[in-house]
Amino acid sequence: MRLLALAVLALSLAGCSLFSETSSWTKPGMTADEAQADLATCKEIAWAQQSADEKIDTDTSATMGDPGQGAVDTELSQNMSRQRSGKRTSDIVADCMRQLGYTPAD
């Protein structure tokens, strides 16, 4: 059991680094402060979208399938769900910044 817990932890940490979002963006003519303000706006948009997605997922899982099936959620599936959420949020931020004309500086 401990081995499984350690494996899950290792995979979770690897997932964090795999899906880490770019924190530095560049765009000709923009100051660092302007870029940070645009990044903050994109993050707000991403968090709002992720929150809406989570509410939809919760509503969907509550109304579909075997009522008892969704009652038990393992730690592994919770970790996988957080990893997907983090990747989705990161993708939304990156798409937003690219639409504003930025490119990753990292």
**pLDDT above 70 for 90:** yes
Cβ atoms < 10 Å from Cβ of 97: 23
Burial 52-87 (b: 16+ CB within 10 A, else e): eeeeeeeeeeeeeeeeeeeeeeeeeeeeeeebebbe
Residue 50 pLDDT more than 70? yes
What pLDDT was estimated at residue 64? 55
Helix-, strand-, coil-residue percentages of the chain, each rounded to 5: 75, 5, 25
Average pLDDT, the chain: 74
pLDDT at 30: 95
Question: Which tens digits make up the pLDDT trace of 61-81?
Answer: 556 555 555 545 577 766 676
The model's pTM: 0.58
Task: Domain ranges for the chain, please list them.
Answer: 2-104
